[in-house]
Structure 1
Amino acid sequence: MAAGVSYDEASTPHGLRLYAVGDIHGRHDLLAAMHARLMEEILHDRPADWRIVYLGDYVDRGANSRGVIEYLANLRERDPRVITLAGNHDLGFLDFLSNPDPFGLFACNGGFETALSYGVEIDLTSHERMMPGHTALVRAVPRRHRAFLATLPYSVSFGDFFFCHAGIRPGVALDAQSADDLIWIRREFHAFEGLHPKLIVHGHTPVRAAELCKNRINLDTGAWHSGRLTALRMEGREKTLIEAAC
């Protein structure tokens, strides 16, 4: 692979401030606190231009997935500078609505709490027991929430930064990455020690504290159970971690 971009070298385009926010997983309280803080900074500092990139996994496990989707959908509608990427849990929720499976991602990884946030208690112990709750959940999820989930992009890039939910497959061009890798990859991506064409900013794999590696940055600090939602501010070559905690 040709020489890539390191953490220290990675820079935003001139005049553009970037923020990236890690996995939310139903923590509407932390999301609202974080977004308020970021907008306060933006209004105070008045950068020439800005983007806030949410890295996916808005649903499951935490208590208010419905509130998170509603909040982000409203933000995206009001201002295209707020970018919401797809996470595997977000697409798993959408898939469950169309193809109910009591042993799939949604059912086995926090989907019960997501359904509960829509006022539906669903029995996921068997297909037969699940179906009444599934029917109720399909009715309870607003059409605009499904449209929001169905239109989430898999990646976005600005300057020397490439943003996605999980990571990339090393050696594959950024514009040729598969959707599956962008929302699911772990082992091959984490183990790779060389530089990528751009610095990869991602979440997906929970860590105690944000990982600042020479070729990637992991912002998933397990907000749903740790009570800490982590973001990164990027401006020029300067990079600063920000935390909303409860």
Structure 2
Amino acid sequence: MLSLLPASEQLDVLGRRPSLPAGLRIYAIGDIHGRLDLLNVLLSRIEADKAARPTQKALYVFLGDYIDRGASSRETIDRLIEHGKRNETVFLKGNHELIALKCLSDRSLFDQWMRLGGVETLISYGVPPEHLANGKPVAMLQAAFHDALPQAHFRFFRDLQRSFVCGDFFFAHAGVKPRVELSRQKESDLLWIREEFLKSNEDFGKIVVHGHTPAREVEVAPNRINVDTGAFATGLLTCLVIEGASLAVIDTR
């Protein structure tokens, strides 16, 4: 179930192989997009790995985009909240959570959210499908979402972190803007950036672990690792396992 990460030997931070502090193992999980079925499978496989290979400290880092597109966004958030109560966990913000939260106060973003898969999210929260199909006024959809969103879910979205740093690794949903210090990154870049980051050969001072841009397999470049394997469309949800200078993968295949 645990497989070594191909091409991990090319990773380089300031001329050396990146690593985590001793005694720590990180499980970094890619974009879920409402696929509760895959999340449950992956978490059970991670638990099996922890049982087979005990570690002093296990930390889960979720890379954002928990909702939209898949059929079980609300149930996915319930599952993540439950998981966070029982495990040391970092939840990062994805662009999909950003838009959903902003839609509670900004009606102008609703069309964009619907195009990004928000329709499935609203349905999962109990907004009747006929309301969406019949083009109900945005004000009505906004009110329905506001009423249907549990306070625990609102707090979950509100408290999501923009980034997380540990050892030689920097975790963010989409990536970072080249030639900008990691401590000075803007939220818009951390959650939305694509080509400028993906094509950069810059040594960022940390290995950037990210999702946001789907790939067929875990993608490794000298300065970054992409963990988004397009779970919604492919059925493949992936977890990067980092321990010391070792990198491996657990997935749902």
Give me the whole-angstrom Cα distance separating, in 2, the residues matched to 1:27 and 1:62: 5
Question: How far apart in 1 are the matches of 2:216 and 2:107?
Answer: 33
TM-score, reference length from structure 1: 0.91
Quote how far apart the aligned CAs of 1:107 are: 1.6
- Pairing partner for 2:159 from 129, 133, 151: 151
Report the CA distance shift for 1:155/1:117 in structure 2 as closer, same or farther (over 3 A). same
Aligned mates of 1:242, 1:41 — CA distance in 2: 9
Question: Relative to structure 1, is the Cα distance of residues 167 and 125 closer, same or farther in structure 2, using a 3 angstrom cutoff?
Answer: farther
**Cross-structure match for 1:85:** 92
Cα distance in 2 between the residues matched to 1:176 and 1:107: 31
Query: What runs of 5+ residues in structure 2 fail to find an aligned partner?
Result: 1-11
The match for 2:5 is: none
The equivalent of 1:112 in structure 2 is 119
Whether the aligned pair in 2 keeps the contact of 1:26 and 1:60 (CA below 8 Å) is: yes
Shift of 1:195: 1.8
1:141 to 146, 149, 165: 149
CA contact (8 A) 1:118 1:141 kept: yes
Aligned CA RMSD, in angstroms, stands at: 1.9
Counterpart residue identity of residue 118, structure 1: Y
Distance, in Å, in 1 between the alignment partners of 2:252 and 2:14 is 27
TM-superposed deviation, 1:7: 10
1:40 to 36, 48, 58: 48
Q: Deviations over 1:123-159 (max 9, x none)?
A: 2775x53333332221111011011000000111111
| 1:158-173 equivalent positions in 2, closer than 5 A | 158-173=166-181
Say whether the 8 Å CA contact 1:211–1:217 is kept in structure 2. Answer: yes
Which runs of no fewer than 5 residues in structure 1 stay unpaired? none
| Maintained 8 Å contact 1:6/1:214 | no
What is the aligned length? 240
Q: Which amino acid is the alignment partner of residue 28 of structure 1?
A: L
Q: Does structure 2 conserve the Cα–Cα contact (< 8 Å) formed by 1:102 and 1:124?
A: no
Q: Deviations over 1:3-56 (max 9, x none)?
A: x71797111111111111100000011111111211221233221112110000
Residues 1:123 and 2:124 are matched in the alignment: no
Counterparts of 1:43 and 1:7, CA distance in 2 = 35
Instruction: Name 1:75's counterpart in structure 2.
Output: 83
Q: Do residues 50 (structure 1) and 45 (structure 2) align?
A: no
Distance, in Å, in 2 between the alignment partners of 1:94 and 1:7 is 41
Summarize the Cα distance change of 1:130–1:103 in structure 2 as closer, same or farther, 3 Å threshold: closer
Please tell me whether the aligned partners of residues 45 and 250 of structure 2 are also in contact (alpha carbons under 8 angstroms). no
Mapped contact 1:8–1:214 kept (Cα < 8 A): no
Identity %: 41
The one-letter code of the counterpart of 1:186 is: R
- Provide the rounded CA distance (Å) in 2 between the counterparts of 1:28 and 1:105: 24
SS of residue paired to 1:52 = strand
Residue number among 223, 231, 234 corresponding to 1:215 in the alignment: 223
Q: Which has the higher mean CA deviation after the structures are superposed, 91-100 or 65-74?
A: 91-100
Q: Which residue of 1 aligns with 2:32?
A: 24
Q: Which amino acid aligns with 2:180?
A: V
Q: Is the 8 A contact 2:25 2:241 kept in 1?
A: yes
